[in-house]
Amino acid sequence: MKKPLRIGIYAGTFDPVHVGHISFALQAMKIAKLDKLYFLPERRPRAKQGVEHFGHRVAMLKRACRPHAAFGVLELDELSFSVDRSLPQLKKRFRNNQLIFLVGSDVAEQLPSWSHAEKLLANSELVVGVRGGHDHKKLSQQIATWPMQPKASYLVESYAAEVSSGAVREALRERRYVRGLLSSVASYSNRHWLYVSLA
């Protein structure tokens, strides 16, 4: 019988993808012993306005993934990630394999309040990237109080906790370098004149 693969799923806006996203994914690959990791960009993220076109965000993600053979980009039809609609598709696509979801600590704090969160946690593992300003120990204690526990959870201190998409977008608008900006993203953004209308 074929051994189940450990598949990482990293959903988000990625507007644009930056060093913080890639380094967290690499950390997750190692700590959770993943065989493959897929970035799952949301077409229309909740509570976010003025997001760059989905096609451009996907294109930048694919370029950022090229140096990493185990990385891929997954495109679902849903406008945004939801447990009731997205999880069944993922389970069908990766049948008999173990799903491990990657989230930032800001998302993890809200996860128990998600609709059908118990379905996500019941058979999945979780890798949480501790972002700047968040306490590792406090977050671990908070997760321990969740009514439904994931099959396993891993907390990792981000190598680039202070990098933000907002700062990267501002730098791209001004055509300058900022810490966390990927060269592949900079060249693509410059070629397609992305973020230039950012106020």
Tell me the mean pLDDT in the region 104-130.
92
Q: Share the mean pLDDT of the chain.
A: 93
Residue 161: pLDDT above 80? no
Cis peptide before 147 (omega within 30 of 0): no
pLDDT in tens, 17-51: 999 999 999 999 999 999 999 999 999 988 788 89
Q: Which helix (H) or strand (E) holds 129?
A: strand 125-130
Residue 184: pLDDT above 80? yes
Confirm whether 177 is domain-assigned.
no
Give CA separation, 37 vs 26, 46, 71, 72, in Å.
9, 23, 5, 6
pTM recorded for the entire structure? 0.94
pLDDT in tens, 121-154: 999 999 999 987 788 899 999 999 999 999 999 9
Tell me, what's the pLDDT at 135? 85
Minimum mean pLDDT among 44-48, 60-64, 81-85, 93-97: which range?
A: 44-48
Confirm whether 66 is domain-assigned.
yes
> Rounded distance, CA 144 to CA 163, Å?
28
Angle CA(60)–CA(40)–CA(4) in degrees, nearest 5? 125
pLDDT band at 160 (very low <50, low <70, confident <90, very high): confident
For 73, which DSSP code?
Answer: E
Tell me the mean pLDDT in the region 165-174.
94
Tell me, what's the pLDDT at 47? 74
Q: Which domain holds residue 67?
A: 6-162
Q: Which helix (H) or strand (E) holds 136?
A: helix 136-144
What total number of domains does the chain contain? 1
Confirm whether 14 is domain-assigned.
yes
Angle CA(132)–CA(175)–CA(129) in degrees, nearest 5? 20
Give CA separation, 183 vs 177, 188, 189, in Å.
9, 9, 10
Residues 6+ apart with CB under 8 A from 62: 73
Tell me the mean pLDDT in the region 74-79.
91
Confirm whether 178 is domain-assigned.
no
Q: What is the CATH number of the domain that holds 144?
A: 3.40.50.620
Confirm whether 46 is domain-assigned.
yes
Tell me, what's the pLDDT at 134? 83
Tell me, what's the pLDDT at 45? 87
